[in-house]
Structure 1
Amino acid sequence: MGLKALAGAVGFLTRLPAGRDADAWDAFAATPAAFLPVGYLLGGVAALALAIPAPDPARAFCYVAAVYALTGINHVDGLADLGDAAVVHGDTERRREVMKDTTVGVGAVLAVALVVAGLALAALALAGITLLAAVGIVVAAEVGAKFGMAALACLGAPAHEGLGSQFTADNGARSLVPSALLALPALALTWPSLAATGAVAGALLAAGAVGRWSDRALGGAGGDAFGATNELGRLAGLYGGLIAWELFPEVIAWTPS
């Protein structure tokens, strides 16, 4: 993975002033694994909000604010477009028309409201557990969301010419292997608890759901599907981590007698 690809990933996934030139974008589009390091970066920085010496609701709010201060609203816009497409009555072409419409519909409002509210409630729950576990879940969920985007780039089919096709054009199933290797450390962030593993798994389930729905309803994955995968993957990852934390707080280490 080259520095150009990593810079392009930072430029696409964050508001940081890096990777905004054409060369960086091309390198990133051809390197799905570049999603993953940015997931570690974003998750680590956003998780710092949970260490603020303040009441749990204040820390939860600061986490949500940090997420969108770091990432901006481009991916939320993709979520909103898919929300509008999901509630429209009609065929694939009609759904695509709705997604291109600049008018914000009720589907978009509901989708964004549910995700932001869900993020805030998850953050409130994270503020109530041990800090190391909370940080591990946040980072693992962010990495899982980015792994989901990489999987969409490697396994998805483009709905039309555009951002989605730029990711999927030169990538295939083999291109996903480096991403999977980079995701492995995230699985152990809360060891011996399986919370981090649950976070990554939850994010991947969300990515699979978005990819399958996009194929059926839109004829493939466009740029909006990538944005929705990011937002829904983060949310599902946080809840997957919290559920695993409750169910499997520790793994029993069996040793030979």
Structure 2
Amino acid sequence: MIDEIKGLILFMTRIPAGNSKSDFEGIAKYFMLMPLVGTLISLFGALVAILMSTLGITSGNILGTIVLFTLLYVQGFHHIDGLADYGDSWMVQGNARKKLEVMKDVYIGIGGFIFVFFVELVSLFSISYLFETNGIIIFVKYIIIIETCSRLGLLSCACCGIPSTEGTGRFFVKRTNESHLLTGLLLSLSVSLLLNIPKLGALCSILAVFVGMFFAWKCNNQLNCVTGDILGATAEISRMILLISVIIAAPLIS
């Protein structure tokens, strides 16, 4: 079990967790732990934010840029690639087979560029705004719960998606079921309790589940499956949506 969990961390992040001999079938058994993988990634962003704040950096744009880059770097830019591929497929007119072929090619089209540019730019500005309007401790709590729940959105998409016939994503989609999603939801809620933001954590968790369901439903209908690229895109878009939601909801439910 430990080896398979290490394999999940190694596959989903750049964190040096040692070596793992587990295959994707074994790793997929513990895909319900994805919210905690998001928590682990968020800790690096939180530490960078605390360090920069301690050094007296008060510019939200600078801090937001570096925090977002840290989060993307620690996850190995996996989901950025998926977001770009999904954006390309979104803009293609044609059947499911044509859209999947576009997702598999090595080129980035205008659809992929715009998706990455828009999603990450909104995320950057949102992180900057949260830093400028909150103390560093509250800001760090927001980053942790948002990154945790963005992976819950990914898990929800995998649970509701139809597995593709090829690609590594099919192992996770095929293996994930309702009990895994429930476990992931409970893990996300537990993180929010530890952070002492239970109401905001419940909001982010429930929203993330519905975002994942929506993308699974859309891709099941348009592509006849959910691929690894779609899971990655769901995580990135979930982060953006959750950031905006926290900006709107936090003053009302704090």
TM-score, structure 1 as length reference: 0.87
Give the deviation of 1:131 after TM superposition.
Answer: 2.1
Matched, 1:200 2:232: no
Q: Unpaired segments of 5 or more residues in structure 2?
A: none
* Corresponding residue pairs, total: 248
Give the deviation of 1:193 after TM superposition.
Answer: 7.2
Q: Aligned ranges for residues 30-179 of structure 1 at < 5 Å? A: 30-51=29-50, 52-53=52-53, 54-55=57-58, 56-128=60-132, 129-179=134-184
Maintained 8 Å contact 1:4/1:24: no
Bigger Cα displacement from structure 2, 95-104 vs 144-153: 144-153
SS at match of 1:162: coil
Amino acid at match of 1:83: G
Deviations 1:99-127 (A, max 9, x none): 12222110000000011101110111111
Give the deviation of 1:172 after TM superposition.
Answer: 2.2
- The alpha-carbon distance between structure 1 residues 131 and 230, as it changes in their structure 2 partners (threshold 3 A), is same
Could you say which residue in structure 2 is the equivalent of 1:255? none
Higher helix share: 2
Could you say which residue in structure 2 is the equivalent of 1:8? 7
Matched, 1:221 2:220: no
SS at match of 1:127: helix
Amino acid at match of 1:185: S
Give the deviation of 1:190 after TM superposition.
Answer: 5.5
Amino acid at match of 2:9: V
- The alpha-carbon distance between structure 1 residues 220 and 19, as it changes in their structure 2 partners (threshold 3 A), is farther
Amino acid at match of 1:210: F
TM-score, structure 2 as length reference: 0.88
Could you say which residue in structure 1 is the equivalent of 2:238? 233
Give the deviation of 1:191 after TM superposition.
Answer: 4.0
SS at match of 1:18: coil
SS at match of 1:15: coil
Identity among equivalent pairs (%)? 25
- The alpha-carbon distance between structure 1 residues 75 and 149, as it changes in their structure 2 partners (threshold 3 A), is same
**Which structure has more RCO (C-alpha within 8 Å, separation ≥ 6)?**
2
Deviations 1:1-60 (A, max 9, x none): x32232122112211233664416433212222212211111122122332220222211
Q: Unpaired segments of 5 or more residues in structure 1?
A: 250-257
Maintained 8 Å contact 1:118/1:235: yes
Maintained 8 Å contact 2:158/2:216: no
- The alpha-carbon distance between structure 1 residues 185 and 166, as it changes in their structure 2 partners (threshold 3 A), is same
Could you say which residue in structure 2 is the equivalent of 1:253? none
